[in-house]
Chains A and B, each alone.
Chain A
Amino acid sequence: MEKKELVCIGCPMGCVMQVEMEGEEVLSVSGNTCTKGERYARKEVTDPTRIVTTTVKVKNGTAERVPVKTKSDIPKGKIFGCLRALKNVEAIAPVRIGDVILKNVAGTGVDIVATKDVEAR
């Protein structure tokens, strides 16, 4: 049996929670004050995911960079893989919010989309 400790992000209370696990299976969650805490803990220890936001270069635009994000959350462990994949990507103006900048980033099956309009110069 494995024990993990994590801090809940649900509210400023910041409950310190203990999770007991057997392989991938969650045996128990303790230390939480509400059900939000337990839900967060179960997800966080079995399948932690994050939305990744960064910027990429824009060619021929009114701005140097365009902000982008993963269209949905990706596994936490793939954050830096995602950033590496975007390192040399260049968007071409005009860019519209929601435009796909890179498909299937770092093998996650998730696209990178623009989060701001950038007009052509």
Chain B
Amino acid sequence: MEQYEIVIIGGGPAGLAAAVSARNAGAGQILILERDKELGGILNQCIHNGFGLHTFKEELTGPEYAARFISQVEELGIEYRLHTMVMDIDRKKVITAMSREKGMYQIQAKAVILAMGCRERPRGALNIPGYRPAGIYSAGTAQRLVNIEGLLPGRKVVILGSGDIGLIMARRMTMEGASVQVVAELMPYSGGLKRNIVQCLDDFGIPLKLSHTVIDIKGKERVEGITLAAVDEKGVPIPGTEEEYECDTLLLSVGLIPENELSSQIGVTLNPVTSGPIVDESLETDVEGVFACGNVLHVHDLVDFVSEEAAAAGKNAARYVDKFLKKENIYGKEEADPYHGQSQAAVSLIPTGGVRYTVPSIIHPDRMQEEQVVRFRVGRVYYNCYINVYLNGERLLHRKRPVMAPGEMEQIKLKESWFANVPKNAEMTIQIEEA
């Protein structure tokens, strides 16, 4: 069986940044497995600009952002395989992969980095009545058709959901000659960035209807129209508010779900809120030596944060391989290794009062860096509030935020010094306090 120190599942932004960082941290044999025909993942179809402001201090398009990392991977001589689908990973980190050239084969890894990304929530998850006519696409599928294949999926378009991909596609379809009638959003606020609402909708006079949803899809062979209705605060359609729209295409931009089938096969525990793995400060899952980063871990708003998180995962995986596995071959050994035995305390991070989840959700103080980034999202829009962090009842952080919205990821930094004399199995709560 082939052997590698680190095998990275997925060659999108997370996989690329993890690989570069693992190599820079000293890892030798690294392999990226990618199912598509090229590296770069979803960035290849995100041809709009606005990527990289944090990482490169300039605004790049998706393909340009990917190219920066791909060229680093090439320069560092990191091995990758395209057209390769990973079918299974087991607890001993044996990876079963498949490709046209090599057929089915197995690889033994010392550490695995999960970087499979996410996929779009489909129509089936929405309970919209009607037939199953042609013309209903997820926004990302439409984006691929337009930007990669050069095909226009429809001429008269309604978009349900105001996530960023939906907003971007409203502009894109308009630029390609389609008429986008309306963008409808179930929630009373948009899930997308303000900048996208202005530059993708307002610039082109496309109306955004908040607290509205599609309650019927007309047409048997092809979409012929939809019925839109206002919803009450519980999301239930209000009778008498129905409006008919004639259209041949309905795009759905209604959320992203981390793609964790492989994680489950390994036995990694998932967080029901994020649908991604539960990880500690090292971004290591509860299966030793298996790390996770990017949208497979939790859906990010900006790719810059994906790269940053993935770099941490890559570095930690390299450290894991180097410090604790080179000395001793642990294959086949079932009991906990010394690396994990070392951790004395494990502090659980408990999200409360408006904080939906945190990544990481466990901190091992003896393994943390001087500063530990914790990312989270809030459940609704908050104005003039505070982020509070408590450890064993003591308030350690009280930061004012003028505004927070569910569409934007928040981050705080925990200091190592806070954990100096922390008792075993302590709890840290992270909450939003309204003024």
Question: Which residues does A use to contact B, with CB under 8 Å?
Answer: 6-14, 33, 50-51, 53-55, 57, 63-65, 67, 69, 76, 79-80, 83, 97, 115-117
Contact = CB atoms under 8 A, between A and B. Distances in A.
A53 B405 contact: no
Contacts of A13: 194, 383, 402-403
A9 B197 CA distance: 9
Given A7-B202, A33-B402, A76-B203, 12 more contacts: A9-B194, A9-B195, A9-B199, A12-B403, A12-B405, A13-B383, A13-B402, A14-B197, A63-B148, A64-B150, A79-B175, A116-B63
Interface stretch (B41-49, B84-92, B154-162, B223-231): B41-49
Nearest to B149: A64
A83 B203 CA distance: 15
Nearest to B48: A53
27 contacts: A6-B198, A9-B194, A9-B195, A10-B194, A12-B381, A12-B403, A12-B408, A13-B194, A13-B402, A14-B197, A50-B203, A55-B146, A55-B150, A57-B150, A64-B150, A65-B148, A67-B61, A67-B63, A69-B49, A69-B61, A79-B203, A80-B175, A97-B63, A115-B60, A115-B61, A116-B63, A117-B67
A116 B64 contact: yes
A118 B149 CA distance: 14
Nearest to B381: A12
A53 B198 contact: no
Nearest to B61: A115
B148 A64 contact: yes
Contacts of A83: 175
A58 B47 CA distance: 16
A12 B380 CA distance: 12
B304 interface: no
Contacts of B194: 7-14
B47 A54 contact: yes
Interface of B: 44, 47-49, 59-61, 63-64, 67, 146-150, 175-176, 193-195, 197-199, 202-203, 381, 383, 402-405, 407-408
A97 B202 CA distance: 30
A59 B292 CA distance: 40
A51 B67 contact: no
A65 B150 CA distance: 6
Nearest to B195: A9
Contacts of B149: 64-65
B129 to A, nearest CB: 34
A96 to B, nearest CB: 10
A116 B197 contact: no
Contacts of B150: 55, 57, 64-65
Contact of A54 (B44, B175, B203): B175
B47 A53 contact: yes
A80 to B, nearest CB: 8
Please indicate which of the listed interface residues A13, A53, A97 has the most CB atoms of chain B within 10 Å of its own CB. A53
Contacts of A65: 147-150
Nearest to B66: A116
Contacts of B408: 12
A33 B403 CA distance: 11
A12 B148 contact: no
Contacts of B175: 54, 79-80, 83
A12 B193 contact: yes
A51 B60 CA distance: 10
A57 B147 CA distance: 11
Nearest to B147: A55
Contacts of A79: 175, 203
Nearest to B204: A79
